[in-house]
Amino acid sequence: MNLSLEQASPLVGTNFTVHTQAGLIDLELIDVAELPRRNIPEQFPTPLSLVFTGPPDILLQQDIYLIDHAELGQNQWLMGPILSINPGSNDNKLYYEIMFA
């Protein structure tokens, strides 16, 4: 399933449940942004970035995860850790990104 900006934006602030080897982990969607098209032909969707924050005590590695959301159902998406979206802050949170290209 690919998402559009129109589908994903209303979901900011909601939780997504990720199935991991450590059990179920809730991540909060904190940002949705379209990325530059960079000469992608018009028949393809605009790349989209979803940024999540999660608990500071469990680091999820880049992998394909089964992810549940009340409005989107269950999907398998590639997700990986990213640096803080607030450089210089000491917010003690872990951040993750899913990209649709």
What does the pLDDT look like over 10-51, one tens digit per residue? 999 999 999 999 899 999 999 999 888 888 888 887 889 999
User: What range does the domain containing 96 cover?
Assistant: 5-100
pLDDT of residue 101: 81
Question: How many structural domains does the chain have?
Answer: 1
**At a CB cut-off of 8 Å and minimum separation 6, what does 17 contact?**
24, 25, 26, 27, 67, 68, 69
What does the pLDDT look like over 65-75, one tens digit per residue? 999 999 999 99
